[in-house]
Amino acid sequence: MTVAASGRRAVVTGAAGFIGSHLCERLVADGWRVLGVDSFTDSYARHDKEDNLLPVAGEPRFALLEADLVGDSWRSALRPGDVVFHLAAQPGVRGSFGASFARYARDNVVATQRVFEAAHEAGCRRVVWASSSSVYGEAPEYPCRESAPTRPRSPYGVTKRACEDLARVYGGKGVTLVGLRYFTVYGPRQRPDMALRRLCEAVLTRATFAVYGDGFQSRDFTFVTDACDATVRAGLVSDPEPVYNVGGGAEATLAQTVEIVERLAGARLDVARTAPVHGDVRRTAADTSAARRSLGWRPAVDLETGLAAELAWVRESTASRRVA
Ligand SMILES: NC(=O)c1ccc[n+]([C@@H]2O[C@H](COP(=O)([O-])OP(=O)(O)OC[C@H]3O[C@@H](n4cnc5c(N)ncnc54)[C@H](O)[C@@H]3O)[C@@H](O)[C@H]2O)c1
C-alpha cells in the first residue's frame, strides 16, 4: 500500500545500511525528496553498503551526504518541516559486550542525542527513530505490549533503552519523536552478522552453520519492506504514539528457519551447535495492535516468502562477487 507524500522531504540516517537503504528506496518511490546520511562505519564492508544504495543511485530525488552524526557537518542539511528517519546505529547484541561497547555508546546514544537536538533546532516536523525489541529482555508475557517493562539483557539493548529515555527528554519540544521497536528484520541486504543471512550463505556454499544454543530460541521475524512500511506510516500519521512494536508476526525457532531454508535451497545444512550467546533472549514476540490501530499497518510478507527473497538475493550477490 502506498502512503501519499508528494513534495515531502526526508532525511534518512544510516541510509547505506540494511533497513535504511530499503527505506530510501521506498520513500523515493512514494515521491519524497530524500537526503541520506551515513558515515560508512567499518561495521561491515564499505562496498556492501555502497551496493545497498545502488537502487537509488542516480535518482534525481535522492542525494547522499557522507557524514558522522556525532560531528556537526551534517546539521546544516536539516530544513524546517523535514521528517528525519534516524536509523544509524551500531547494531548487534553479540558485539556489544567488552571493549567495543564504547562504539555502541557513541553511535547509538551520543549520535541519537545529536539527532534529537539538531532536529529540534532546525524546526524539523518529526523524528522517527529505530529502537529495538532488545529493550524488553525476557518479557514477563508474550506477545509483549509496548507497556511491558524494559529490562535489556545486552549492552546493545541498554543503548536503545537509553535512546528511549532521551526521546522522553527531547519529545514535546516542538519536534515529535516516534520510536519503533523493530523485531528481527530480515530480507535482501540483511547485515552479514545476522543469523538468517549466515544461514542462507551456509546452505549455498555448503559451509557449516553455527547455531548458538539449542536452536529452539524463537524470534518474531519482520520482512524488511514491512518494517519500512511501518516506518513511513510513522512519519506521516497524525498524533502518533511515542513508541510502537514493529513485529512481522512470523514467530519461528532457529531450527524451523533451518528447515525452511533447506527446503527452499533443496540442500541439507551442516549444523554445528555452539554455546548460547550471552545477552540473547529465549523468545521475542510483539503485540502489534498499537501499530495496526494507529498506523493502519499490517505485515504483508510471510516467513517462507521472505526467506525465499533473502535466499535469492544471497545467491545473486554471491555469484556477482565471484564474477567480479
Ligand atoms: N536489523 C534488525 O533486525 C534490527 C532490529 C532492531 C533494531 N534495529 C535498528 O535498526 C537500525 C538499522 O539497522 P540495520 O540492521 O539496517 O543496521 P546497519 O548496520 O546495516 O545500518 C546502520 C548504518 O548506520 C551507519 N552509522 C552508524 N553510526 C553512524 C554515525 N555515527 N553517523 C552516521 N552513520 C552511522 C552505518 O554506517 C550503517 O550503514 C539500527 O538503529 C538498528 O539498531 C535493527
Return the pLDDT at 323.
60
Catalytic annotation on 104? no
User: Quick check: is 265 in a domain?
Assistant: yes
pLDDT digits (tens, 9 = 90+) for 35-45: 999 999 999 99
User: Quick check: is 268 in a domain?
Assistant: yes
Catalytic residue among 104, 136, 142, 156: 156
For the full predicted model, state whether its pTM sits above 0.85.
Answer: yes
The verdict on the CB of residue 187 being under 6 Å from ligand 1 is no
The verdict on the CB of residue 258 being under 6 Å from ligand 1 is no
Task: Kindly give the distance from the C-alpha atom of residue 87 to the centroid of ligand 1, in angstroms, as a whole number.
Answer: 5
Look at the chain and report how many structural domains it folds into: 1
Radius of gyration of the chain (CA): 19
User: Quick check: is 4 in a domain?
Assistant: no
User: Quick check: is 2 in a domain?
Assistant: no
User: Quick check: is 239 in a domain?
Assistant: yes
Q: Which residue, judged by its Cα, is nearest atom 39 of ligand 1?
A: 17
User: Quick check: is 3 in a domain?
Assistant: no
Return the pLDDT at 324.
57
In the chain, which residues have pLDDT < 50? 1-3
Task: Kindly give the distance from the C-alpha atom of residue 265 to the centroid of ligand 1, in angstroms, as a whole number.
Answer: 29
pLDDT digits (tens, 9 = 90+) for 237-269: 999 999 999 999 989 999 999 999 999 999 999
User: What's the CATH number where 299 sits?
Assistant: 3.40.50.720
Return the pLDDT at 2.
45
User: Quick check: is 1 in a domain?
Assistant: no
Task: Kindly give the distance from the C-alpha atom of residue 14 to the centroid of ligand 1, in angstroms, as a whole number.
Answer: 6
For residue 281, give its domain range: 9-323
Return the pLDDT at 44.
97
The verdict on the CB of residue 231 being under 6 Å from ligand 1 is no
- Grid look-up 546493545 returns 156
User: Quick check: is 17 in a domain?
Assistant: yes
